[in-house]
Chain A
Amino acid sequence: MPGISREEVAHLAKLARLELKGEELDHFAGQLDDIIGAVAAVSDVADEDVPPTSHPLPLTNVMRPDEVRPSLTAQQALSGAPAQEQQRFKVPQILGEEA
């Protein structure tokens, strides 16, 4: 049984900077456990002749030439920002962390 513990969900929430209440942790731990179980079922049918894959298409070396293409304008780039200042994205105080 793969499974995910309540403590692991709490740790992931911390890494994702999500504040979860106790009952939410219980709720998500249950849900995530179900999802992981469902995905794990794939491993049961995939035998050793099925290699793990990270991309659906058998492509390699898709590259682009080093040529400049138009960017967004700063106004466009910032248009979806909840807050801005001096043509920059404004973010809340970064607490307890280091650059």
Chain B
Amino acid sequence: MALGPIEIEVIRNALTAAAAEMDVTVWRTSRSTIVRELLDYSTAVFDAAGNNVAQSARIPGHLNSMSHFLREILDKYIDPDTWGPDDVVISNDPYCGGQHLPDITAFKPVFVDGRRIAFVGTLCHHIDVGGLAAGSYAAKAIEIFQEGLRIPPVKLIENGKRNEGIWAMIRQNIRKPDLLLGDLTSQIASLDVGAAALHRLAARYGADGMMEASARILDMSEAAMRAAIGAMPDGTYEFTDFLDDDGIDIGKPIRLHVSLKVHGEEITVDLSGCSAQVTGPTNATLASSNSAVMFAIMCASMSGNSGDEAFLANAGCYRPIHTVAPVGSVVNAQFPAPVVHRVAVTHRLLNAMFGALHQVVPERIPAAYYGNSYVTTFQTVAANNSREVLVEIEIGGSGAHPAKDGVNAYASGMHNNSNIPIEMIESQMPLTITRYELLRDSGGAGMRRGGLGLAREWRVDSASCLFTANMDRFVHAPYGLAGGGPASLGKLIHVQGGVEHDLPPKSDNVVLKQGDRVRLETSGGGGFGPPTRRDRALLAQDVALGYISAEDAKAHYA
């Protein structure tokens, strides 16, 4: 059956709609707030070989990673000939193609007339998978065994029946079994919804039609990607940025070096200049690093499109992009390195990628965003020993763009989540937020000013409180570009009895007392262009609005 461009577009739309229905199913039927409120999950449809054809995702780290995982599983772990239409395979193992243990991914093949025509998949960040620390985010882990339960690719459902041994094994090894197994059940329901949608389509277009459509959809995205890369100037472009440290070897920076080569319609990203893998959990597997590399190039390519509809993101876009990452480096960590804080590596790798891309398409790329997920955890302990837990993820400012200022307090780069309303926190636990404001002078100076970071301050109202933090950019500031200045460094301050002292940005279980305060100051974004070229009226407005102090205006813009 030869399909015309009309049928292809209709099928493409239907595949995207199928991913959206799968997404709604997870949202509707999952249990934990991490899924419903932070929306930390993704759904996707793949072709018969495991290439991502359509997806529903809001979190860049998920966008380009599920396809890699599925192809690894098909290559190395599950013989496709033994993977039937009623078998669901799950895994969370970073060393089998995943990212970190809290993300459990589930896949199911779709068969029509005895032929496999597609896969459907869902990825969920689960609330706890065991290990050293509640939430499975141990800042001080030095091997993956401390980070939680590793699930190799296994059939959770086989011939339509639950593999009860696996379910029991998971239940026994995690802290919140009802939530996790509830969310896992919703992932399976979502796979069934996706499979049903594909069967509806196949009834109209047949197995051959579906296979042909998938191939052509990937080819179209590849062609669009090649056209975008082909318009970029050939050459090799390098950039280096640093993470402060891994939380174990304090003060030892981790180098992220990118050598990006544009050759014709292809890009090769060589990460050979990155540091060796580290002792602490600030490591990334290839799946994580690839997602940052792909995300950077897709942002740079799409923002060159003049149309309002960016070209379609799928595995076809990845074909002209090649990543070289030495085995055993921080961007291709090997067993048994801990990896739970892989988001830190991908944030900084993304910063480095944008630094290189700035040299390729200078009109499109902003200066560095804050490059960090500011994760704080408060476990309040009342006099009667009852406990409440709060996990917050804060953000900083976006980098200044060649054509406009950075945005104050804007979720940028590899993560994308909401903050939690102050009134909700104070209604539910003995914590008071004592300030939440933009941070003056935190944006990098420039012709375009970097967005401002922010300050948030918590006060402990319970008898005591255990505090954990995991953040970066306290030593290496977000860079400016084209003569723009760097943004501010982060700060974490403990205020006790009126005395302030700094807390390490990677802290586990700091004991706070009633009345103590913790203040977080996040980095802004870097500036773009020489500050002397900033429009004086805009500078005056920045001072009037309190974005810049009079002193800083004099010091950096004169």
The answer to whether A and B come from one shared complex is no
Residues of A within 8 A of B (CB): none
